[in-house]
Structure 1
Amino acid sequence: MYGCPPPRIPSWKSNSNCCSCPHPKISSWKSNSNCCSWDGIECDEETHHVIGLDLSSSCLYGSINSNNTIFRLVHLESLNLADNCFSSSQIPPTIRNFPKLRYLNLSSSGFSGQVPSEILQLTKLSSLDLSPSIDDMFLNEELLRSLAQNLTGLETLVISYINISSTVPNTLANLSHLTSLVLNSCALFGKLPFSLGNLRRLIYLDLSANNFNGQISSSFANLTQLTYLSLGENHINGTIPCFFGNLTQVATLGLSSNQLSGPIPSSLGNLGKLTVLDLRFNKFQREIPESLFNVASLNRLFLAHNNLSGTVEFLKLLKLPNLKRVDLSGSNLDVITETRTMNASSIPRLEHLG
């Protein structure tokens, strides 16, 4: 079986009690058959080299080290070990043995410790997901800076729940091909970097649950391809810039649990594809702009715990055809129904309006 790993690859076992696994792939592997037919394995049709290995959600458990036979698959272009239980193993430095690798997903697999610098040698990567299943993985500022200098072909970068404890290096702007950037829960601090505005291909941006402060950078006006933007659970202040109304592709906008103030800009009514608007736990003032009641795509509207005032006509909410959940609690708003006026604070959550 030219190009196939030994039958004992991988050296882990499958344990259904370890994690959720609807279909543990290695349970169907048979050592007396061609491994290119095994579930989760992809081979090159001409050379028969193993070029893809997908063992995600296979309930694999046990340690993984540099001697594991998986690191002999030097022709791999795709490796997915997500959603397994590797006993707090560190990512082995032999990860460098995959010079052709384009896709690497090690998320939610129990890895811990320092992310190895050898990952910088995977210069062909277009997608990298290192999000751990436990909050015990570290990546220092220098490695993040080097990552942005070496892996310039990245289109997807997900390193959430990894302790970085630094500012965002300006070198991140080198990743000009990025369409998805997720850096949530990384203990990042400082101002939202102006350089992020150079990532004009971004479709998905999640910087939530960090310690960013200051105002939203004006460079975000360049991110006109965004469909998902989450900056919630930070310490961002100031107002929502009016240019947010020009981000017309945005479907999800999350700015909750910050220190944003001033009025909610009426320009948000220009977001004709908006399905989720979450502005909870801020300091917004004045009335809800009328323009929001014209966004027919809205499915969830969360404005609770602000300093909003004025009245909201319940019938206007009912006229939004897709609206399912509304939270206006903890504010000074009055909700007018057909028969009476109620303070929004007395209505914890209005759900299932449609």
Structure 2
Amino acid sequence: MMIIWTLCLIFFLSDSTLVFASPAKHLCRPDQKDALWKFKSEFYVEGFHSDGTPVNKKTERWRNNTDCCSWDGVSCDPKKGVVVKLDLEDSFLNGPLRSNSSLFRLQHLRSLNLDNNTNLYGDLPDSISNLKYLRVLSLARCNLFGKIPSSLGNLSHLTNLGLSGNGFTGELPDSMGNLNRLRELRLDNNKLGGNFPLPLLNLTELTFIYLGSNRFQGMLPSNMSSLSKLVSFHIEKNSFHGSVPSSLFMIPSISELAMGSNDFSGTLEIGNISSPSTLIALSLPENNFKGPIPDSISKLVGLFYLDLALWNTEKATVDFSVFLPLTSLIFLDLSYINTRSMFDLSLFSSFMLLGYLDLSGNNLKISEPLSLPLPIGTLALSSCKIVEFPKFLQNQTILLYLDLSRNQIEGQVPEWLWSLPELRYVNISQNSFSGFEGSADVIQRSQMLLLDISSNEFHDPFPLLPNTTKFFLGSNNRFSGKIPRETCGLVSLESLVLSNNNFNGSIPRCFEHLSTSLSVLHLRNNSLSGVFPEESISAPLRSLDVGGNKLSGKLPKSLINCTSLEFLNLEDNNFNDTFPHWLRFLPNLQILVLRYNEFHGPISSPGGSLSFPKLRIFDISENRFTGVLPSDYFAGWGAMSSVLDIVDRMPSRFEGRDSGNYRNSVSMTAKGLTMELVGSGFTIYKTIDVSGNRFQGDIPESIGLLKELIVLNMSNNAFTGHILLSLANLSNLQSLDLSQNRLSGRIPPELGKLTFLAWMNFSYNNLEGPIPQGTQIQSQNISSFAENPGLCGAPLKETCGKKEEEATEQEQDEEKEEEEGQAFSWIAAAIAYVPGVICGLTIGHILFSCKPYWFVRIFHSFT
């Protein structure tokens, strides 16, 4: 026995030695490794966090001398050594996904995840169908565009398809109907259009459909119940119309229906639900439903989430008891349902799970004492005609968000409000509050993140805010004196809005303490004076408004560090500086208003083209600018040259509650009138106003490239030459003012063809010849042509002779030929602008690639 045990031990040890001494087995096949390595080389992956530290990217940790199956994001079949899963989410891949990409050589892939590579751009290639074994394809939040390729329908094994958050356009290909194993379809947040894709009705395995935030239209098919396994159906923020098919409610497995922000109308037919409904979420806000809320809502007893906001009951009465059976509700929004019914808030006291309640815009009765369910974390009672501060709120110990805006509450805000332990967001704007109970520091003891007290009657003393404050909105009150230095201690502050008060003195230099956080600073319409301190500029600034004060000196050049700046309004101050050419380095600038200051000198760039690719409002009127504008001055102003999607940052009813409902505003002169442009108005107007300066020479020919321009005001300068024929290219122009210049020649009759041009002014020039007989021109007031001694014809009293008319036609033909030639050259220059920049960057990249690594890193960080 001892001999046997000894032999066993020897064999065991020798075998173990062989095992541990042998090299590790390489699972990855050479062709798979080669394909992955070449795929990595197709992209530039350099990147840095906002603090300058390098980004940790998966592909950077790949090593060519190691087994590719051990690489980050790579999974293999252990028996065959082929790559079956590639997960490169958030890997900072920069570059196009090419049709001949090495990715498509990984033909055994079953799962591909490239989500959140926002610089991965271009069309989705047809060659995606090479990955014929794919079960999961996820390319969400990249920068892909164009049409979804029909070859996608060849991926017959596909169960999950995620293309959300891209720029795909057009209709879904019919071949999608071939994906008969598809369970999850996520196409939300694209630009897809057309009617509801009927091929989807053939995909009977579908459980999740997400088509929200697209451009779909038309009616939903009546036979939605053919999707017998559907669980979640999200089509919000489209343009679907007609009625909601009752067949949706009859699907046995249906759990979520989100159809808000469409154009659905008619009555809501839920149908005969015999068995308990599985529906737990029903969202129908912002549609065109009219009439009574259906009683059948009460059958959906399993609902956790119900949103019927903006249901138009047409001032009818509403029986709110219909909601009483829905005792499982956690979220309920019945805001702005347009009913004359008054209902008591105590109706909801039996909803023991209710955590979110929005009854804004209703005629509400609050009978004290009142006890609402303790789980309520969000309570919105805006525009409810409330006249007293609700005392029942003292018992809401877990209340997080409170909205009492747009009511009729007077007096002081009760001291006990700030002792609610979980309260973080308070909106009491647009009431008649005059102060705060208790000492000035009573609010400071809270953990407030947002406080909106705008549009009230608050006056001194200014409240001391807690250090946790991120958003403070105190505009349209009666605060006075200097801006309190205590605001500089709010190191987390992101939005400070103090417009339309009576503050005086200078802008605090201590704002430098907010340099890492402040993104919105609005101090409009106060009496602030002195220079704007350089150190008070915060690098994250997105919106800066100091209009309507008495600020002087130069514009702080530290603004050049604010690469996120979109809105800059300095109007109606005493700034005395030259034109800030360096603003062209701010890639996101959309609004630039310098009107009514003492800026002076030329506005053309001494160092090259002045390109503002995203600028939509350019107002430098009423200053002392001089010089001649180069003919190509407007050649690089892309947002005014083409149709671009404009994102309105102003919060809607459903958004912005975490950041405050501030509104950007500027004054604008259009159609001879000065108007206030507020909020969503910025998405409509694209304007140029250089009036009230001392410009000379010809109007730049490149103005004719700005086809999206709505308002053009070049009045009260010293422009000479003729009125450009290229102005007729501005097909969206509504207001044109060229008055009080030294323009000569004829008024081009082509301007009469601009169908939107409702207002024009040519007065006080040296124009001559007959006034064109177009409808748009003839409809103008006689004052629009005054003080042009050579003009004749209606609506003026001076008549024109036949010879003058013939000479006018001949001159206009000659001018048209000459200007068409010039226009062609500037159009060609504008077309060449973008490829020229790309070419330059490409050459620069090739040259700099020979430099040391640190130099390449600095170069790419800058670009």
Give the TM interval when normalised to the shorter protein: 0.7 to 0.9
Which residue of structure 2 lines up, in the alignment, with residue 311 of structure 1? 365
CA offset digits 1:58-99 (Å, max 9, x no partner): 111111101111111101111111100345311111100111
Give the counterpart of 1:297 among 353, 356, 363: 353
2:47 pairs with 1:13: no
CA contact (8 A) 1:328 1:347 kept: no
Q: Contact conserved, 2:152 with 2:175, CA < 8 A, in 1?
A: no
Is the counterpart of residue 235 in structure 1 residue 289 in structure 2? Answer: no
Q: Determine the structure 2 residue equivalent to 1:30.
A: 63
Per-residue CA distance 1:262-283 (angstroms, 9 max, x = gap): 6376454444543333344543
Equivalent runs, 1:137-148 vs 2, <5 Å: 137-140=168-171, 143=173, 145-147=174-176
* TM-score between both structures, scaled by the size of structure 1: 0.82
The 5 A counterparts of 1:114-193 are 114-133=147-166, 136-140=167-171, 143=173, 145-147=174-176, 149-193=177-221
Aligned to 1:329: 382
Bigger CA drift: 287-296 or 234-243?
A: 287-296
Kept after mapping to 1: 8 A contact 2:97/2:121: no
Contact 2:345/2:366 (8 A) holds in 1: no
Query: What is the rounded CA distance, in whole Å, between the counterparts of 2:170 and 2:125 in structure 1?
Result: 14
Identity %: 26
RMSD of Structure 2 on Structure 1 (CA): 3.5
CA deviation vs aligned residue, 1:18-60 (integer Å, no higher than 9, x gap)? 99x9752112211111111111111112212111111111111
The question of whether the paired residues in 2 share the 8 Å contact of 1:125 and 1:154 is answered with yes
CA contact (8 A) 1:267 1:291 kept: no
Secondary structure (helix, strand or coil) at the match of 2:153 reads helix
Mark the runs of 5 or more structure 1 residues left unpaired by the alignment.
none
Q: Which position in structure 1 is the counterpart of 2:330?
A: 275
Structure 1 residues 107-134: Cα deviation after superposition (integer angstroms, max 9, x where no partner): 101111111111111121111111134x
The higher-RCO structure (CA 8 Å, 6+ apart) is: 1
Alpha-carbon deviation of 1:165?
2.6
- Residue 101 (structure 1) shift: 0.7
Measured after TM superposition, the shift of residue 198 of structure 1 is 3.5
The TM-score, its normalising length taken from structure 2, stands at 0.36
**Are the aligned partners of 1:160 and 1:183 in contact in 2 as well (CA < 8 Å)?**
yes
SS at match of 1:79: strand
Counterparts of 1:320 and 1:16, CA distance in 2 = 49
Q: 1:157 and 1:332, CA in 2 relative to 1: closer, same or farther beyond 3 A?
A: farther
CA 1:198–1:77 in 2, change beyond 3 Å: closer, same or farther? same
- Structure showing the higher helix proportion among its residues: 2
1:287-346 CA-to-partner distances (Å, cap 9, x unmatched) read 3797654333322222323xx334245765x53232100212134578884489xx9842
Contact 1:333 1:344 in 2 (8 A): no
Unaligned segments of structure 2, at least 5 residues: 1-27, 265-288, 394-403, 410-416, 425-863
Letter in 1 for 2:76: C
1:139 to partner: Cα distance: 3.4
2:142 match: secondary structure? coil
The amino acid across from 1:212 in the alignment is F
Aligned to 1:346: 407
Distance 1:30 1:156, change over 3 A: same
CA distance in 1, matches of 2:203, 2:347: 36
Relative to structure 1, the CA distance from residue 87 to residue 38 in structure 2 (aligned partners, 3 Å threshold; closer, same or farther) is closer
Question: Partners of 1:65 and 1:42 in 2: how far apart?
Answer: 23
For 2:319 and 2:112, locate their aligned partners in 1 and report how far apart those are by CA, in whole Å: 44
Matched letter for residue 82 of structure 1: D
| Aligned residue runs from structure 1 range 32-51, under 5 A | 32-51=65-84
The residue type equivalent to 1:139 in the other structure is G
Mapped to 1, the partners of 2:124 and 2:368 lie a distance apart of 54
- How far apart, in 1, do the equivalents of 2:377 and 2:368 lie? 13
Cα gap change, 1:39 to 1:189, in 2 (>3 Å): same
2:310–2:338 Cα contact (<8 Å) kept = no
User: Which residue in the other structure is 2:121 paired with?
Assistant: 88
Instruction: Quote the residue 2:103 is aligned against.
Output: 70
Q: Distance in 1 between matches of 2:354 and 2:252?
A: 19
Alpha-carbon distance in structure 1 between the residues aligned to 2:154 and 2:347: 50
Is the counterpart of residue 79 in structure 1 residue 79 in structure 2? no
Rate the CA distance shift 1:272–1:91 in 2: closer, same or farther, 3 A.
farther
SS of structure 2 residue aligned to 1:74: coil
Structure 2 counterpart of 1:218: 246
Identify which range, 196-205 or 93-102, moves more after superposition.
196-205
Rg larger in structure: 2
Q: CA deviation at 1:285?
A: 5.6
- Say which is worse superposed, 24-33 or 166-175, in terms of deviation: 166-175
Q: Which of residues 249, 252, 264 is equivalent to 2:305? A: 252
Q: Which amino acid aligns with 2:152?
A: I
CA gap of 1:52–1:344, structure 2 versus 1, over 3 A, is same
Decide whether the 8 Å contact of 2:355 with 2:378 is kept in 1. Answer: yes
Distance change >3 Å, CA 169–CA 90, structure 1 → 2: closer
Partner of 2:231: 203
* Partner SS, residue 8 of structure 1: helix
What letter is aligned with 2:365?
Answer: T
Secondary structure in 2 matching 1:111: strand
Per-residue Cα deviation, 1:119-176 (whole angstroms, up to 9, x for no partner): 111121111111134xx321315x1x441x2112211111112333322144432222
Q: 1:344 to 1:110 in 2, by over 3 A?
A: closer
Shift of 1:240: 4.5
Taking a change above 3 Å as real, the CA distance of residues 63 and 186 of structure 1, as seen in their structure-2 partners, is: same
Matched residue type, 1:138: T
In structure 2, do the counterparts of structure 1 residues 339 and 44 end up closer, same or farther at CA, with 3 Å as the change threshold? Answer: closer
Moved more, 218-227 or 180-189: 218-227
Structure 1's 247 and 119: CA in aligned 2 closer, same or farther, altered over 3 A?
Answer: farther
Q: Distance in 1 between matches of 2:158 and 2:408?
A: 49
Q: Which moved more, 1:265-274 or 1:114-123?
A: 265-274
Aligned length: 343
Moved >6 Å (runs of 4+)? 288-291, 333-336
After alignment, is 72-81 or 170-179 more displaced?
170-179
Q: Residue in 1 aligned with 2:138?
A: 105
Instruction: Work out the CA distance in 2 between the residues paired with 1:175 and 1:315.
Output: 55
